[in-house]
Structure 1
Amino acid sequence: MRSAVIVVWLLAHALAAAEPTLTLLTWNVLADPARAGERAPALVRTIAELNPDIVALQEVQPWLRAQIDASPALAHYRGTVVNGKVMAPGGLYLLSRLDVQSISIEVIPTRLDRCALIATIDVGAGPPLTLGIVHLDSLPGQDELRVMQLAAVQRRLAQAPLAALVGDFNFGDADPLESAALDPGWTDCWRAAMGEDPGLTWDNERNALARANAFPEEPSRRLDRVLVRSQRWTPVESRLVGTEAVSALTPGLFPSDHFGVYVRMIGPMP
C-alpha cells in the first residue's frame, strides 16, 4: 500500500513538473532618481528572485537600465531592442527569457509623451503571445484620454489569438469610464486568482513613496494589471511584489511607489 502511495505521489509531481507554465511581472519602477542607489539593487534583486519569463517595466530610466545590464543574475534576459537599438521608449522596457520575434512602438493619443510597446513572443506550443505594455496618462480628469489610449492598444491586439495587455493603467476598479472601456474578452489575472482581494498596487497606507507622490486626495487603487485573452493559458497565481522596504534600516523606502504584479499561468499538456 505504501509503495502505491509513493508511486502516485511521484506521478503527480512529475505531471506538475511537466505542466507548461508562463510567468509575467509588470512593475512601474518610479523614474525619480532620488535614492536610486538604494532602490535599484532592490528592484534588480526582486526581478532576479522571481525570475519571470517576461518582465514589463514602466518609468525605466538610464540609472535602472545600467543596473539591469550590470547584473549577472539578469544576464539571461533580452532587453528591449527596437530597430536595432536598445531603448526604453516612453519609459517602457521589456525583459524576456523567451524568444522575442518582433517588437514595435505603438503611437497612442497622449499629453505626457506616452506610447505602447507591442511585442510578439514565442511561448512554446501554440500561437505566440502578442503583448501590449502600457503606461497610460496619469493626470486626474484624463479619463476620456485613457479611454482613447485603451481603444488604440486594444485595436492593435484584437486579432491576436493569444494576447496580454499589461502595465500601469492609471485608473482603479472604481473608475467607471475606463473600466467600461476594457474589452470584456480579457481575463483579469488578479481577479481570476485572487477574487475580491483589492490588490492595491498604489497603496498610500502601506507605501510611503506612494503617499509622498500621490495627487491631492488620491485614494489607494489597483492601478497595475495583467489582462490575458487566451483559450490555452489559465492564471493560477497572482501576487504583489515590492511590498517590503528595501532594508530594515530604511523602513519608509520601498523599491518603487507602485507594487508590482506577478502572475503565473498554466497551459495545456503537450
Structure 2
Amino acid sequence: MALLFSKVAQYVQDWRQRSSLLNEPDATAIPQSWHQFDQQQTDWISITPSKPANLSGTGNDNKETESEITDRANTIPLTLMTWNVDAMADYPERRMLEVLSAFRNQSPQPNILFFQEVPKSALASILGHSWIRNDWYSSERDATQWSGQQFATITLLSKQTFNHHGDDLSKARIGQIWRVKYPSRFGRDALCCHMFVPPLGVRVRLVNVHLDSLPIQPSLRPRQLAIIANMLHAAGRGVVAGDFNPVLPGDDDLVSANRLVDVWTELHQTEGFTWGIDGQQPFPPARLDKFAMVGLKATAIDIIHPGVLSNPGEGDKDQDLKDGLVPGVPWSDHSGLRCSFSLVNVL
C-alpha cells in the first residue's frame, strides 16, 4: 500500500511539473536532468538545480526601480551560439571537434551553446572533450532522452556564468530542463530550459529547436513554432534558436506571426544566409538558422561560417582518411550563429 501511495504521489508531482511547463493539447513536456562531469567518478552525473533565493519571475518586490534592477542583471553578459552540425556528413567526430574549437576561440566566448542534428558519435566527442567536461553543464549524458532518434539536440551552459546551487549573485542560476514532444514527421522535439538572472532571479526561457525539414505539405512547422512561441510568451522572456527550416512560402513570416522578434532582421539589412553558401547544394542559399525573442534585447548577431578539415600533409593517406583529416570537408553544411542579448525592463 505504501508503494502504491508513493507511485501515486510521484505521478501527481510529475503531472503538476509538466502542466506548469506546457499547456498545449497536442504537445507533452518530458522533464529531464542537467548533468556535470564528476572527475572522481569519471562520468557525467545528474544534478538537481535549486531555486534562486530571490526568485522573482517578473515582479519587483524591493525598492529598486525596474531600470536599476535590469541594469544590475545585465552586468552578466549573455552570448548564445547555435549550430546545426550535419548528422549525415562523413567524419562527424572530427567535424564536431572543429566546431568546439571554433566556439572556444570566439571573443566574447559564448556561455550558452545550442547544437542541432548531433549524431551519437558526435555526442560522444562533445561529452568526452576536456573543455566541455571541465567548464560546462550538459543537457545530456548519453542519448537516453532521444527516444531512439539517431540524432538530436544538446544544450550546454558555461560554469563560468551559471551555477546550480548556492547564492552567488555574480552568476546566473540554471533551472528546469525538459523536452517538448510536439507534432513532427521526424520525431523531433524542442529542448527547453530556464535560467534565472540575478539579482532577483528573473526567469528567462531558452528553447533549442530543429524544426521539421523538407517542403512537405501540410507543413507541421507552423504548429511547432506556435507551441514554442506560446511557451515564450507565457514565460515573459525567452529566446528560441536553431534550425527553423523555412523552405516553403510563408515560413519566413512565422516568427512575426507568433509575435516574436526575428533578431537578424532587427539588426541587419542583409539576407544572412546560413546554408547553401558553398554552391554545392541542390537548392539556393537560405537563412535556415534563426534567433527569435520576446522580452529580451539583442545587442549583436553574427554568422560563423564553417571551416574545412585540413590534411596535415604527412603520414599515411589511408590513415588520414580514417581519421577524417582530409581537405575540403566542411565542418557542416550550415553556418553557426552567435547572438549577444540582455534583459529589457522587468515587466
Q: Report the TM-score range of the alignment, normalised by the length of the smaller protein.
A: 0.7 to 0.9
Q: Which residue of structure 1 aligns with residue 196 of structure 2?
A: 122
Write the deviation string for residues 217-262 of structure 1: whole angstroms up to 9, x where unpaired: x2210000111111xx421211111433233775522111110100
Counterpart Cα distance in 2 of 1:58 and 1:133? 8
Please tell me the residue identity of whatever aligns with 1:226: F
Worse-matched range after superposition: 97-106 or 161-170: 97-106
- Specify whether residues 124 and 33 from structure 1 end up closer, same or farther in structure 2 by C-alpha distance, changes over 3 A only: farther
Report if the CA contact (8 A) 2:226-2:258 is conserved: no
Shift of 1:111: 0.8
1:254 to 313, 330, 339: 330
- Specify whether residues 128 and 265 from structure 1 end up closer, same or farther in structure 2 by C-alpha distance, changes over 3 A only: same
Report if the CA contact (8 A) 2:207-2:241 is conserved: yes
2:284 to 216, 219, 232: 219
- The answer to whether 1:66 aligns with 2:66 is no
User: Equivalent pairs: percent with the same residue?
Assistant: 26
TM-score when normalising by structure 1: 0.78
Q: Which residue of structure 2 aligns with residue 49 of structure 1?
A: 105
What does 1:1-270 align with in structure 2 at a 5 Å threshold?
Answer: 19-32=75-88, 34-50=90-106, 51-74=109-132, 75-81=134-140, 87=145, 91-97=152-158, 98=162, 99-125=173-199, 127-142=202-217, 144-171=219-246, 175-182=248-255, 183=257, 185-193=259-267, 195-203=268-276, 205-206=277-278, 211=280, 214=281, 216=282, 218-230=283-295, 233-247=296-310, 252-267=328-343
- Specify whether residues 143 and 246 from structure 1 end up closer, same or farther in structure 2 by C-alpha distance, changes over 3 A only: farther
Q: Which residue of structure 2 aligns with residue 5 of structure 1?
A: none
Write the deviation string for residues 27-70 of structure 1: whole angstroms up to 9, x where unpaired: 10111261224312201211222331111110112222222222
Write the deviation string for residues 140-160 of structure 1: whole angstroms up to 9, x where unpaired: 234632112112222222211
List alignment gaps of at least 5 residues for structure 2.
Answer: 1-70, 163-172, 313-325
- Specify whether residues 62 and 261 from structure 1 end up closer, same or farther in structure 2 by C-alpha distance, changes over 3 A only: same
List alignment gaps of at least 5 residues for structure 1.
Answer: 1-14
Report if the CA contact (8 A) 1:143-1:177 is conserved: no
- Specify whether residues 200 and 161 from structure 1 end up closer, same or farther in structure 2 by C-alpha distance, changes over 3 A only: same
Larger radius of gyration: 2
Counterpart Cα distance in 2 of 1:117 and 1:108? 11
TM-score when normalising by structure 2: 0.62
Shift of 1:266: 3.7
Counterpart Cα distance in 2 of 1:155 and 1:266? 21
- Specify whether residues 103 and 168 from structure 1 end up closer, same or farther in structure 2 by C-alpha distance, changes over 3 A only: same
CA RMSD of aligned residues (A): 2.8
Counterpart Cα distance in 2 of 1:102 and 1:112? 25
- Specify whether residues 196 and 142 from structure 1 end up closer, same or farther in structure 2 by C-alpha distance, changes over 3 A only: farther
SS of corresponding position for 1:170: coil
Counterpart Cα distance in 2 of 1:20 and 1:264? 11
- Specify whether residues 64 and 200 from structure 1 end up closer, same or farther in structure 2 by C-alpha distance, changes over 3 A only: same
Counterpart Cα distance in 2 of 1:153 and 1:37? 30
Please tell me the residue identity of whatever aligns with 1:200: F
- Specify whether residues 180 and 267 from structure 1 end up closer, same or farther in structure 2 by C-alpha distance, changes over 3 A only: closer
How many residue pairs end up in the alignment? 239
Please tell me the residue identity of whatever aligns with 1:41: L
SS of corresponding position for 1:159: helix
SS of corresponding position for 2:136: coil
Runs of 4 or more above 4 Å deviation: 84-90, 248-251
Shift of 1:184: 5.2
Report if the CA contact (8 A) 2:241-2:290 is conserved: yes
Report if the CA contact (8 A) 2:297-2:344 is conserved: no
Counterpart Cα distance in 1 of 2:288 and 2:269? 15
SS of corresponding position for 1:60: strand
Report if the CA contact (8 A) 1:30-1:60 is conserved: yes
